[in-house]
Amino acid sequence: MGAAISIDYITHHYPGQEQPTLKDIEVTVAPGETVALIGQSGCGKSTLLHMLAGLLLPSDGCVRINGQQVIKPSPRWNMMFQKPSLYPWMTVRKNASLGLIFQGRRKGLKDRIDQLLDTVGLADKAEVNVQSLSGGQQQRVALARSLATDPELLLLDEPFSALDAFTRVALQDEVTRLARERGISVVFVTHDIDEAVAMADRVLVMGSNPGTITAELKVELPYPRDRASHRFVDLKSELMEFFGATRHPGGSGVQPRAEAEPESESSRRQARIRAA
């Protein structure tokens, strides 16, 4: 059963800041739901994710998971960071097994890890030391370790950003499939609009100075998602338009236009997203 999350009007100030990083954030996540946090750099996405993980306490308000206030990390949820945290002198198998070992769950460990390493494309690297792997391969080891313990909640801070395009898409689809099969709740931070629409049931758009939730987009598409479908493309366009952004050769991240569009048009776009 996935985790039920309630974020109750949290505000957060870092020391020395006059303006809060986050202000009056109110969000709920249903068990088994996947929610994306997307916004410009510096809007507080990762700060919010760290609060969900229990790594940071808000200045005001609280985060509750399954009705209990989050004040510290828990083995019931796992977080993947932008850079993997692995033991370089250990093999791929040992690194991927650590979560289960720490929880004392050694029964069936080898079969479980072998299955996950095959899922993330590292079955032939099981006995290789992780220090000899590429950055993308190391991130896949971290993903296998996170999934091994069957968490109620998976928190992802752009874990696919170091992967090549083909591996990134494959893992986006695989994580989505595994989470849905197991009923795991997922909250992930991304700058990638394609990734947000491909994986999420809902996309929360964050503004900055201070960080707030400015819009919500429901992604009502069946899984697995057809990235070439008209509706998929339309949803990406709605998000791009909300940010006042255009596509650029480097990918689907948000890039501001040189000139802002009229306020009335921006308001209409925001209303369309909220109504979606």
Q: What is the pLDDT of residues 127-156, one digit of tens each?
A: 999 999 987 889 889 989 998 888 999 999
For residues 61 and 14, membership in a common domain is answered with yes
Q: Which residues pair with 262 in a beta bridge?
A: none
Whether 29 and 46 share a structural domain: yes
The model's confidence at residue 198, banded by pLDDT at 50, 70 and 90, is: very high
CA distance 204 to 206: 6
Is 256 found in the same domain as 160?
Answer: yes
User: Domain check: are 117 and 206 in the same one?
Assistant: no
**Beta partners for 237?**
none
Q: Is 189 helix (H, G, I), strand (E, B) or coil?
A: strand
**Is omega for the bond preceding 210 within 30 degrees of 0, making it cis?**
yes
Strand, coil or helix: what is 58? coil
Please tell me whether residues 194 and 113 are part of one structural domain. no
Shared-domain flag, residues 192 and 244? yes
Residue 194 and residue 257 in one domain: yes
Kindly state whether residues 146 and 15 are assigned to the same domain.
no
The model's pLDDT over 199-237, given as tens digits with 9 standing for 90+, comes to 999 999 999 889 999 999 999 999 999 999 999 999 999
If asked whether residues 256 and 166 sit together in one domain, one would say yes
Residue 47: CATH number of its domain: 3.40.50.300
Residues 107 and 14: their CA atoms lie apart, in Å, by 44
72 and 188, same domain (yes or no): yes
Biggest CA–CA distance in the chain, Å, is: 62
Within this chain, do residues 211 and 235 fall inside the same structural domain, yes or no?
yes
Query: Rounded to whole angstroms, what are the CA distances from 29 to 32, 112, 172, 246, 253?
Result: 8, 28, 20, 30, 25
pLDDT digits 0-9 by tens, 165-191:
887 898 899 889 989 988 999 999 999
When divided into structural domains, the chain yields a total of 2
47: domain range? 5-76+152-173+181-275
Name the band, by pLDDT with cuts 50, 70 and 90, for residue 245.
low
* Strands (E) located in the chain: 5-12, 22-29, 34-39, 60-65, 68-69, 77-80, 153-157, 185-190, 202-207, 212-218
Considering the domain architecture, whether residues 70 and 106 belong to the same structural domain is answered as no
If one counts every other C-beta atom within 10 angstroms of the C-beta of residue 57, the result is 16
pTM: 0.82
Mean pLDDT (whole number) for 21-26: 95
22, exposed or middle or buried, with CB in 10 Å at 0-12, 13-18, 19+?
buried
Residue 193 predicted with pLDDT over 90: yes
